[in-house]
Structure 1
């Protein structure tokens, strides 16, 4: 049985919320990069929020995508935020230096309000 890892997207005004799957690895990060590139090119977005509430595994590819989005948003004066990261993912985000750049929130509402 194959589990498909899909991303869902939610737009709230100029905010793009990316709901991440259970596993964020090199296989699905290519799709994430491609899909978010399209969404950011076609819409005015000044904040990207990544929802890690369902994610239990992430490798360095996930760090790469987050760094790319951070650089892209910083260059246009935008922001990136994260919410819902569990202990495993939190450790990876911390080791990858992401938490020095991107604000971490407990809930979607907190991330939206920032």
Structure 2
């Protein structure tokens, strides 16, 4: 079962995900992030995947859905700490053509 932790840092939301990011995790991610975006002034969204062991197409779709919302509102979305076992899925999906990749949360947060 995947675990998720959300932290607001200024106008940025950092979401840390661990485990298998499947259909269930995708729904939880979407629901949690949308709830925060509806309530708080979030400009940038950063998703830390350092602890992820697997990602499926449902989760990739939920990432792209949040990207559309954040970018429509003038913000940026980035992916942090992509582990080798999930990189191929992200590359095939084209995520890196739409979102910036960062080594660490500090790099992402200092980018803007």
TM over 0.5: yes
Unpaired stretches in structure 2, ≥5 consecutive residues: none
- The two structures, once aligned, show a CA RMSD in angstroms of 0.9
2:55 and 2:40 mapped to 1: Cα distance? 27
Q: Which residue of 2 aligns with 1:49?
A: 46
Unpaired stretches in structure 1, ≥5 consecutive residues: none
Q: 2:23 aligns with which of 26, 30, 41?
A: 26
Q: Which residue of 2 aligns with 1:109?
A: 106
- Select the structure that is richer in strand: 2
2:100 paired with 1:100 = no
User: TM-score, normalised to structure 1's length?
Assistant: 0.93
1:50 and 1:67 mapped to 2: Cα distance? 12
Q: How far is the alpha carbon of 1:28 from its aligned partner?
A: 1.6
1:5 and 1:62 mapped to 2: Cα distance? 11
* Mapping of residues 65-76 of structure 1, within 5 Å: 65-76=62-73
Give the match's secondary structure for 1:20: strand
Q: How far is the alpha carbon of 1:62 from its aligned partner?
A: 1.4
Q: How far is the alpha carbon of 1:5 from its aligned partner?
A: 2.4
User: TM-score, normalised to structure 2's length?
Assistant: 0.95
